[in-house]
Amino acid sequence: MVALIHLLASLAGITCVTRAIPTAGNKSGAVSVSTVTPLGLAQGALDVDGANRFAVRYAKAARWAPSTIVTEWELPNGSDDPTALPLQCPQIRVNASTYSEDCLSMILYVPVNVVAGSGVPTFVWIHGGSFDSGSATLPGLDGSKLANATQSIVAVIQYRLGALGLLAPDGSTNLAVKDTINAIKFLSQVVPSFGGDATMITLAGQSSGAGMIRTLLATPSASSLFRSAILQSDPMNYGFLSVKTQALLQSTFNDLVSCNASDTACQMALTLDKILDAQVTLENEAMNLDASTGIAEPLRPVKDGQLVTTPLDSTAPFPTVSKPLLFTNVKNESTPTIYGLLLPGPDPIPAAFFEPVCEASLGVNRTDIVMNSSFYPVDPNGDARVPLQLLGTDYIWRCPTWTLARTWVAHGGSVFVGMFTVGATDPSNLDVPFCLESGVICHRDDIQIVFGTVPNPTAEQAALTKDVQARYKMFLRTGSPNAPGLEPWPAATTTTIPARELGVQTSATGVDPVGACSPSFWGAAVQYDYQFFNI
């Protein structure tokens, strides 16, 4: 009888809802839901926040082999429990019981009133984590409230991380990028069954997730798979790796695991611990091997000339573009790096440290220009970390974002730029005291605002969530974040970046001040890393 009900429901284009029978893997008695797709019956559950949630494996891959899209609907990790969430991809700093190499999965969140034929957009979230950590189940990434607020399908995806996604011993490049492409192709097949329009897919992501989207924007074969994109806190300063740098990292990794490029048996016999230990060693030594790897993302996508064909920056001819983009940053992007990683501790760092720390990242020539500018004043009696976090935010995140915005517009696309001046402290920032100070918005502190998952939000946070979700709802449909009843958000031009402040208005105009992000300073007087290293 249940099978007949599902068949009739699929013919009518609706989602079936039944009461789940509590089992050992589903003790909550959650409401189960199902939808017929071209790949078979999709089984899911009603999320506690009010959307139908479907976890699914979208592709399979042997170790260091290209992934292939599944041909039938499968729950992640061989599970028979539709309420179970997927295991993470292998990574350090988490319990080994939480990850598996069988990790090419995603979670779909579908508003309960959206049915086949609705033609709603799909919002695809690509998580951050420096390409070596993160998952679809990170805190704050429950997509139910965002799906309901935007009346869209929200898909949160996973892709292979670190050495397993970016260091195939045989020299194959960009496996993680190809995983992401397969995730989008999978969605194109199935979202119509859930009420989605496969031509209305918007990619969105934060940090390296945004970097992954930038990679796809530089990949001609991926262009037809999505219509628009939202890039939050992309560290654009780094650029893609060069083939030469990738080959050096690859050779070093092969030596660390004691497997040559053609010894498949050796590669398959490696334990995950051995692979992850070698990855950590390589990441720690990467800047000594090749300074272009940078301090934060030494393993990242490669401009291989085949899949990724352009650096998408000012070092090479820029392609003609048309997609609408939305770029955002947060007010204090680099604070976790400066206060938590490089110079931790409760005591102020003497002002004299500013210059040598700059030199360690920028070199002498670029540091001299910074020191002689008016943009990063150093208080002789103050904490050197104050100007350093301003410098890091501009150098790695804000200014290269503005540079790409101008260039994108000059070559045919449209861009809206924003700056979060209100946030919600991400769990990863709880150990960085400066991130807990009033008015400080650290890297990742925008995520729970966007998803509407702030625990006990303040009135300010709730208002910003409502505003941002309304703007994203419009952007998914029209390519513009402007909506009736909201303050106007002007698009960027080739010369002007009206970066809308998202939250508390800290300037008279509600637009983030240009400061050092003038075209004559960062990218000109002081080169970005991708220019400096010609990558």
Cβ 57 vs Cβ 74: under 8 Å = yes
Cβ 230 vs Cβ 214: under 8 Å = no
Which residues in the chain show pLDDT less than 50? 1-29
For tokens 């983030």, what's the residue? 512
Dihedral sign computed on CA atoms, order 99, 29, 114, 79 = positive
3-state helix, strand, coil in the chain (%, to 5): 40, 20, 45
Give the number of residues written for the chain.
535
Cα–chain center distance at 461: 22
Predicted local confidence at residue 295, as pLDDT:
84
Predicted local confidence at residue 206, as pLDDT:
98
Predicted local confidence at residue 491, as pLDDT:
98
Cβ 258 vs Cβ 419: under 8 Å = no
Predicted local confidence at residue 78, as pLDDT:
95
What pTM was estimated for this model as a whole?
0.94
Hey, which residues are catalytic here?
207
Predicted local confidence at residue 25, as pLDDT:
34
- And the tokens for 402? 């503005």
Cα–Cα distance between 412 and 407 in angstroms, integer? 9
Cβ 69 vs Cβ 82: under 8 Å = no
Predicted local confidence at residue 377, as pLDDT:
96
Predicted local confidence at residue 116, as pLDDT:
87
